[in-house]
């Protein structure tokens, strides 16, 4: 029996089937869309993960670190870095700093697994609505991944990579490890990376010693190191610091009382002065050596530990000695004026800055400053955060009565800090006592080394490293003047000459290819028959030339080279009087031969270099070379002692009253002034001159210009070694024996056996 379907029933069935079909199609489309989204996501993840570092790279990661230089007492004297970073362990980061960072940057750091999805989605939604780029909501781990391996570009692709790296980091490392990496990596402005370096730079202390308000200030910097810089924008920095403190209070990390006290604390920065500023020429010498041997990348990023020979205390004495010596020279030659003026150059006084102001300013400092106002009897001067007043007594050496007659607003001046304020000296506007100085362009250099080891204890290569990096101690070739004569006398002594042998100081002429050469003495006088001891002590030129002729210039030059002089020297008699260009470093090394009983020690700047992991890369020991016999060295030491006791350097002998030897040197036309001298422990050399071959002025001899610098440095050295004597020294000083030409009687010296000696010159043939 066939059942017929009525039209009404058929219509009802069709109505039920159609939605099912539509639902199936919709489900299929949704599944297809989901598959497409998943596929696209997987594809994108594969694309974005292509350039991601591998887990092994994360495990082997080592941040760029500072190469630090230490003096012979382990004190830091300099550093090299592309990024100023000091690595700290987790335990070296104080609790208050960890709490501050977590409260302001990532409250759920201890609970999440690298990503805070609620914050992320919220930030993404806000960015989409505002039409901006993805920003904010990054956890500490995400910030770490970005800072370690990604660019600073703000886009979806980088954000995906940031999330993927954060997940890898969280899977591989513990929370303390992650926080430690973050704390050592984060940028804090002013070229500083990491909280330990930040604590040292902004507060001159270790991170573990930070107060709550100091820790909060540092914790607020990662948000915007430039915008919240406490140096450039102190008010913004304090506002940001207080936000951090409030966040810590909300999280229960501190009490309300602690928060109130910290927020009321004033901003007190103690910016760390660059250690390179104390011995910049020495540090630069070390840098050149290290880069040549290990490469620039290793030196500036490898975190080397370099143990040098320098003594920080002696370096400070050397700096002061050179600057005081140059100031004395300027005073002798009077006020020149001709000051630069910022107003005349179209600039504002308020905009002027000077590199000196970034360094430590203390009594004895010489600083560039700017005149901001004048009034009868006074000039108001700004030097960094300090101010000073110049009054009549402060310009006395210029012979002017009123500072306002010398100076006007906008003038750039050079001043010496006499006294610092006793209270509140760290605050802007604090007043200091200053005195007016001058820069005429004259330069000075000093080098001091330990005789027994060759360790360079102090090095000054010029007046101002910021103005000129050229090292006048190690790089400048200058005419030595009479400081060359000891090489002539050493050659003669080695041939049998004795200190008390006699020689005729009288006019003499020598034929040369350019005509007849007639040397003369500094005082244009002649003393007749004199001993070699007296001839060297008083730096008589004619006896030195006669000795050189007798010994032979080829032999004299050979001796100079044995002493370590590397300059090419021509075998001409004027070389015996110092017509030869030599570096101060070579002169100092050469003179150390005399107190070392004939052994020359090569100057040593670096004792040991260690890598980041503590492995010794090199360890340097004293390099010595026999130059002359013990007897010759002791004879020359005795001769050079007489120079200090009774000769051209007698002022130092009378003042210092110590076992000392040395020799002055003055080049023709007074272009170079030298003194190279030694005690039993230290050899030190000082030089004064202009960079161009320009006269220092009449009577600016080695004794006048260079010896006071040497004397000022050696005072501190003598205090460390009282009562020391040279090997073979007699209890009393040897006499200066001088021929009495007028009476016709010759006072010749005698050796230990009482025999009279002469130097073997044929006096009948001597003009």
pLDDT greater than 90 at residue 561: yes
Can you tell me the distance from the alpha carbon of 596 to that of 582, in angstroms, rounded to the nearest whole number? 21
pLDDT at position 737, please? 34
- Cβ–Cβ < 8 Å for 467, 569: no
- Cβ–Cβ < 8 Å for 665, 675: yes
* Residue 297 buriedness (CB in 10 A; 0-12 / 13-18 / 19+): exposed
- Per residue in 662-700, pLDDT (tens digit) is 999 999 999 999 999 999 999 999 999 999 999 999 999
pLDDT greater than 70 at residue 129: no
* Closest residue by Cα to residue 63 from 79, 93, 84: 84
Can you tell me the distance from the alpha carbon of 661 to that of 605, in angstroms, rounded to the nearest whole number? 24
pLDDT at position 131, please? 47
Q: Check 79, 482, 483, 539 and give the catalytic one.
A: 482
pLDDT at position 746, please? 30
Please write down the long-range contacts of 614-617, taking CB distance under 8 Å and 24 or more positions apart. 614/305, 617/294, 617/304
Q: What is the mean pLDDT of residues 546-563?
A: 97
Torsion (CA) 626, 630, 635, 640 in degrees, nearest 10: 50
pLDDT at position 149, please? 64
pLDDT greater than 80 at residue 12: no
Can you tell me the distance from the alpha carbon of 179 to that of 337, in angstroms, rounded to the nearest whole number? 58
Q: What is the DSSP letter of 307?
A: E
Q: What is the mean pLDDT of residues 729-743?
A: 39
- Cβ–Cβ < 8 Å for 477, 582: yes
Lowest average pLDDT, out of 111-115, 291-295, 337-341, 739-743, goes to 739-743
pLDDT at position 176, please? 93
pLDDT greater than 50 at residue 42: no
pLDDT at position 86, please? 86
> From edge to edge, which strands make up the β-sheet containing 661-666?
456-460, 443-450, 682-689, 672-678, 661-666
Q: What is the mean pLDDT of residues 533-560?
A: 97
Choose between 27 and 556: higher pLDDT.
556
Q: What is the mean pLDDT of residues 114-143?
A: 59
pLDDT at position 164, please? 79
* CATH for the stretch 88-272: 1.10.3810.10
Q: What is the mean pLDDT of residues 394-419?
A: 95
Cα-atom radius of gyration of the chain, to the nearest Å? 38
Is 309 among the catalytic positions? no
Q: 478-505: b or e for each residue (b if 16 or more CB lie within 10 Å)? A: bbbbbbbbbbbbbbbbbeebbbbbbbbb
The backbone region for 598, taken as left when phi is positive above 0, alpha when psi lies in -120 to 50, beta otherwise, is left
pLDDT greater than 70 at residue 701: yes
Give residue 45's pLDDT band: very low, low, confident or very high (50, 70, 90): very low
pLDDT at position 751, please? 33
Instruction: Tell me the residue ranges of DSSP E strands in 440-577.
Output: 443-450, 456-460, 478-479, 502-505, 510-512, 515-517, 528-531
Q: What is the DSSP string of 36-77?
A: HHHHHHHHHHHHHHTTSPPHHHHHH----B-EEEE-TTS-EE
pLDDT at position 727, please? 86
- Cβ–Cβ < 8 Å for 288, 274: no
pLDDT at position 84, please? 83
Q: 3-class DSSP state for residue 10?
A: helix
Q: What kind and span of H or E run contains 287?
A: helix 280-294
pLDDT at position 357, please? 87
pLDDT greater than 70 at residue 559: yes
pLDDT at position 117, please? 57
Q: How far apart are the first and last CA of the chain?
A: 164
Domain borders along the chain are: 24-53, 88-272, 335-437, 445-606+621-759
pLDDT greater than 70 at residue 590: yes
* Residue 258 buriedness (CB in 10 A; 0-12 / 13-18 / 19+): middle
Is 214 among the catalytic positions? no
pLDDT greater than 50 at residue 47: no
Q: Check 105, 301, 450, 586 and give the catalytic one.
A: 105
* CATH for the stretch 445-606+621-759: 3.40.710.10
Residue showing tokens 């362009």: 441
pLDDT at position 48, please? 46
pLDDT greater than 70 at residue 225: yes
**Options 2.60.120.20, 3.50.50.60, 2.40.50.140, 3.30.1490.190; CATH of 335-437:** 2.40.50.140
Angle of the 234-250 helix axis to the 256-264 helix axis, nearest 10 = 180
């Amino acid at each position: 029996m066939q059942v017929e379907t009525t039209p009404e029933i058929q219509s009802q069935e069709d109505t039920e089937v159609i939605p099912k079909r539509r639902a199936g199609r919709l489900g299929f489309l949704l599944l297809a869309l989901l598959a497409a989204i998943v596929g696209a996501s997987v594809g994108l993840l594969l694309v974005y993960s292509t350039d991601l570092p591998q887990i092994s790279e994360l495990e082997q990661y080592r941040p760029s670190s500072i190469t630090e230089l230490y003096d012979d007492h382990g004190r830091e004297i300099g550093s090299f870095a592309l990024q100023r970073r000091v690595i700290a362990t987790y335990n070296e980061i104080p609790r208050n700093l960890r709490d501050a960072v977590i409260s302001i940057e990532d409250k759920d750091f201890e609970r999440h697994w690298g990503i805070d999805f609620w914050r992320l989605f919220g930030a993404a939604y806000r960015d989409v609505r505002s039409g901006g780029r993805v920003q904010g909501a990054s956890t500490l781990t995400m910030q770490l991944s970005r800072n370690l391996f990604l660019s600073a570009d703000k886009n979806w692709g980088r954000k995906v990579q940031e999330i993927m790296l954060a997940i890898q980091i969280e899977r591989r490392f513990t929370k303390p490890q992650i926080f430690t990496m973050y704390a050592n990596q984060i940028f804090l402005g002013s070229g500083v990376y990491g909280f330990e370096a930040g604590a040292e730079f902004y507060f001159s202390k270790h991170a573990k010693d930070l107060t709550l308000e100091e820790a909060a200030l540092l914790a607020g910097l990662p948000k915007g190191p430039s915008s919240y810089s406490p140096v450039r924008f102190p008010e913004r920095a304090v506002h940001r610091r207080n936000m951090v403190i409030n966040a810590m209070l909300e999280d229960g990390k501190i009490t309300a009382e602690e928060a109130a006290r910290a927020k009321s604390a004033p901003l007190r920065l103690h910016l760390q002065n660059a250690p390179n500023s104390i011995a910049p020429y020495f540090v630069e010498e070390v840098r050149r050596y290290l880069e040549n041997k290990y490469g620039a990348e290793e030196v500036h990023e490898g975190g080397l530990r370099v143990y040098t020979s320098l003594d920080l205390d002696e370096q400070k004495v050397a700096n002061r000695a050179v600057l005081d010596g140059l100031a004395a020279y300027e005073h002798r030659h009077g006020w020149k004026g001709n000051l630069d003026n910022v107003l005349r150059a179209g600039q504002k006084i308020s905009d002027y800055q000077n590199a000196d102001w970034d360094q430590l300013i203390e009594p004895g400092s010489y600083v560039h400053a700017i005149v901001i106002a004048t009034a009868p009897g006074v000039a108001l001067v700004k030097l960094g955060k300090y101010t000073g007043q110049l009054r009549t007594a402060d310009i006395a050496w210029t012979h002017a009565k009123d500072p306002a007659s010398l100076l006007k607003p906008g003038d750039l001046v050079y001043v010496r800090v006499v006294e610092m304020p006793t209270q509140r000296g760290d605050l802007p506007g604090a007043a200091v006592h200053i005195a007016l100085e001058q820069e005429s362009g004259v330069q000075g250099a000093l080098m001091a080394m330990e005789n027994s080891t060759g360790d360079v204890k102090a090095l000054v290569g010029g007046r101002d490293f910021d103005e000129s990096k050229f090292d006048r101690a190690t790089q400048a070739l200058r005419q030595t003047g009479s400081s060359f004569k000891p090489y002539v006398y050493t050659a003669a002594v080695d041939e049998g000459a004795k200190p008390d042998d006699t020689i005729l100081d009288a006019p003499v002429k020598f034929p040369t290819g350019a005509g007849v050469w007639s040397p003369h003495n500094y005082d244009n006088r002649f003393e007749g028959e004199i001993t070699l001891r007296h001839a060297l002590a008083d730096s008589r030129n004619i006896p030195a030339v006669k000795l050189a002729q007798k010994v032979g210039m080829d032999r004299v030059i050979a001796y100079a080279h044995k002493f370590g002089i590397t300059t090419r020297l021509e075998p001409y008699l004027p070389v015996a009087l110092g017509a030869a260009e030599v570096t101060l470093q070579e002169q100092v090394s050469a003179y150390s031969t005399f107190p070392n009983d004939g052994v020359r020690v090569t100057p040593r700047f670096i004792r040991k270099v260690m890598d980041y992991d503590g492995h010794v890369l090199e360890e340097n020991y004293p390099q010595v070379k026999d130059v002359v016999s013990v007897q010759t060295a002791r004879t020359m030491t005795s001769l050079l002692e007489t120079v200090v006791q009774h000769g051209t350097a007698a002022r130092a002998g009378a003042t210092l009253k110590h076992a000392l030897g040395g020799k002055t040197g003055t080049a023709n036309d007074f272009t170079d002034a030298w003194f190279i001298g030694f005690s039993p422990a230290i050899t030190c050399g000082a030089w004064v001159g202009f960079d161009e071959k320009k006269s220092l002025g009449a009577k600016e001899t080695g004794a006048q210009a260079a010896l006071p610098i040497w004397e000022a440095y050696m005072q501190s050295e003598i205090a460390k070694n009282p009562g020391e004597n040279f090997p073979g020294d007699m209890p009393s000083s040897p006499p200066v024996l001088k021929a009495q030409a007028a009476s016709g009687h010759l006072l010749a010296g005698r050796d230990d056996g009482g025999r009279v000696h002469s130097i073997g010159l044929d006096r009948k043939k001597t003009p």
